């Protein structure tokens, strides 16, 4: 949380923000807000980015961005025939860009500071042998050590490819895979992990995030220092694979192929083919893909995963050369005590549920193939972050829990609600230990550093190390000695591009 502005903010006489022209009426307008983000749209047929963003004005008092910009490329933004998966993807892109506007941008790294001592971290421009910037803020360093189980890592490894608009501004694809703040959008859903929350806590101006909901990320988890410091070609781990091998993607989310992209440091990983995401029933598919799923009796749903299959005899029908090499398909699953159970559809109205023990093969007498069970069922079950029906297009999903838009409640935003929301409940009034936020219509706990409160802007008692100033918890220190930096480039774009990978 941040201390609210005590006065209105004005953009001023600058005419652009991140290369986007700001109308005169918005330049001189007084905003009673903590952060204003200008949103623009353009059709850019020459580039394949979804959006770009960045801050363009910060305060002298606490170096907090107060104005920023997000520009959407209408060429890539899905606006027609929008479904629940497209909505989730657009929301994820929005959050990615908002986090950049909050301060996740290389030029601001030098101004990150400890919110308790108000001392700058004095971050260096340390780079490893592969030219990766190591972002060594305290919480990010501790999170990295704990996550990878490696005491030698000093911070988060930043992207070293993708050009000036990607390198150093994002987490490295090779180690963070589909984390929300990596530099490109992959087929399948992104994950909002502890790395992003650790960095947000280390910005300084947002004090600390005491409570947050994150996705559970498994890519690289507990793989040790070898995963970070050895060449990927020397490692035998699930994260990397042999080039051109047809396979299930990492985490068994979809069907794909082992290959590289422009951000993968010449490491090969298992990504999802377009049209072969096991969790997206709305995706566009070629007729050959439809035929493959039909022949293998696939079920595509938010509860489905990719499994390797083997035919008991030669296939009668032949598909294209590419699809004929694919020995995988999608089946609905249910996890019980970290064990996978396959829910197999025998016909239109008949389903059977079968336990799928690790490394064993399931044989069905009614079909011409066997299904091989994966060897890492615990990891796969832990990696399930999806919400039922993607929150029914009424909210945002994080770790199987929806945050619903105004007017809806329930675990999956399935119920209408005109009252306050907490978890899956719709309430007339909030519990005594919470406060009712009339803007979001959620029952919320106290903001960062506040022990007890009456509202988000009226704290009654602070955590240790903080004291009450105008109903808000401030550190027991003087204000920081900031530079006079206030505006960033008026003509040059601050571009943090979220690229598209087309496979």
- Report, as residue numbers or ranges, the catalytic residues: 97
162 and 174 Cβ atoms separated by less than 8 Å: no
**8 Å CB contact between 424 and 410:** yes
Alpha carbons 497 and 140: distance in angstroms, whole number: 23
Closest by Cα among 417, 436, 439, 437 to 426: 417
Query: Does residue 341 have a known ligand-binding role?
Result: no
Binding residue per annotation — 96?
yes
Q: Are 66 and 462 in contact (CB under 8 A)?
A: no
- CA–CA dist 200, 143 (Å, integer): 12
Residues 6 or more apart whose Cβ sits within 8 Å of residue 273: 187, 254, 255, 256, 257, 503
Neighbouring-strand partners of residue 408 = 416
Q: How is residue 70 written in tokens?
A: 């997000």
Query: Residue 128: CB partners within 8 Å, gap ≥ 6?
Result: 134, 157
The two tokens of residue 419 are 């009252």
Note whether 280 and 272 are within 8 A (CB). no
What is d(CA 402, CA 409) in angstroms, rounded to the nearest whole number?
Answer: 9
Structure token pair of residue 415? 């119920």
Q: How far apart, in Å, are the Cα atoms of 463 and each of 57, 113, 208, 473, 479?
A: 31, 19, 12, 8, 19
* ∠ CA 191-195-200, rounded to 5°: 110
- The closest alpha carbon to 157, from 180, 136, 185, belongs to 136
Contacts of 362 (CB under 8 A, 6+ apart): 342, 354, 356, 370, 371, 372, 373
Q: Token pair 């951000």 is at which residue?
A: 263
Q: Spell out a b/e string for 389-408, using b for 16 or more CB atoms within 10 Å of the CB, else e.
A: bbbbebbbbbebbbbbeeeb
The annotated binding site for Zn(2+) is made up of 96, 100, 170
């Amino acid at each position: 949380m941040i201390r609210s502005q005590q006065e209105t903010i004005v953009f001023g006489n600058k005419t652009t923000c991140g290369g986007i022209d700001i109308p005169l009426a918005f330049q001189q307008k007084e905003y009673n807000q903590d952060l204003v983000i200008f949103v623009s749209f353009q059709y850019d047929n020459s580039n394949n980015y979804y959006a770009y963003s960045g801050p363009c004005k910060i305060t002298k008092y606490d170096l907090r961005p107060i104005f920023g910009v997000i520009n959407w490329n209408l060429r890539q933004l899905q606006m027609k025939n929008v479904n629940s998966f497209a909505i989730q993807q657009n929301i994820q892109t929005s959050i990615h860009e908002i986090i950049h506007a909050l301060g996740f941008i290389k030029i601001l790294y030098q101004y990150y500071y400890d919110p308790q001592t108000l001392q700058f971290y004095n971050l260096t421009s340390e780079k490893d042998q592969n030219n990766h910037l190591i972002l060594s803020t305290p919480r990010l360093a501790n999170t990295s050590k704990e996550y990878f189980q490696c005491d030698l890592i000093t911070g988060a490894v930043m992207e070293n490819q993708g050009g000036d608009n990607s390198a150093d501004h994002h987490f490295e694809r090779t180690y963070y895979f589909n984390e929300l703040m990596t530099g490109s959008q992959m087929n399948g859903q992104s994950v909002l992990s502890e790395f992003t929350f650790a960095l947000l806590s280390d910005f300084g101006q947002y004090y600390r995030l005491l409570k947050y909901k994150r996705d559970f990320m498994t890519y690289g988890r507990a793989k040790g220092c070898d995963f970070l410091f050895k060449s990927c070609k020397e490692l035998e781990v699930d994260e990397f694979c042999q080039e051109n091998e047809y396979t299930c993607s990492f985490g068994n989310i979809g069907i794909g192929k082992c290959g590289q992209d422009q951000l993968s440091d010449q490491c090969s990983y298992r990504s999802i083919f377009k049209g072969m995401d096991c969790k997206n029933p709305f995706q566009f598919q070629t007729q050959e893909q439809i035929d493959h799923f039909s022949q293998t009796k696939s079920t595509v749903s938010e509860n489905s995963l990719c499994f390797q299959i083997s035919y008991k005899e030669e296939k009668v029908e032949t598909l294209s050369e590419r699809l004929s090499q694919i020995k995988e398909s999608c089946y609905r699953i249910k996890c019980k005590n970290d064990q996978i159970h396959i829910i197999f559809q025998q016909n239109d109205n008949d389903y059977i549920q079968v336990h799928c023990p690790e490394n064993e093969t399931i044989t069905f007498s009614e079909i011409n193939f066997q299904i091989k069970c994966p060897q890492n069922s615990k990891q796969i079950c832990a990696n399930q972050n999806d919400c039922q029906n993607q929150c029914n297009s009424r909210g945002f999903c994080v770790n199987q829990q929806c945050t619903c838009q105004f007017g809806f409640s329930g675990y999956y935003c399935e119920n209408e609600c005109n009252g306050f929301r907490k978890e899956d409940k719709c309430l007339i009034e909030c519990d005594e230990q919470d406060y009712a936020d009339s803007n979001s219509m959620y029952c919320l706990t106290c903001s960062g550093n506040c022990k007890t409160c009456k509202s988000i802007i009226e704290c009654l008692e602070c955590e240790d190390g903080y004291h009450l100033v105008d109903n808000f918890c401030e550190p027991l220190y003087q204000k920081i000695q900031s530079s006079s930096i206030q505006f960033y480039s008026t003509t040059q774009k601050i571009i943090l591009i979220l690229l598209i990978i087309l496979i």
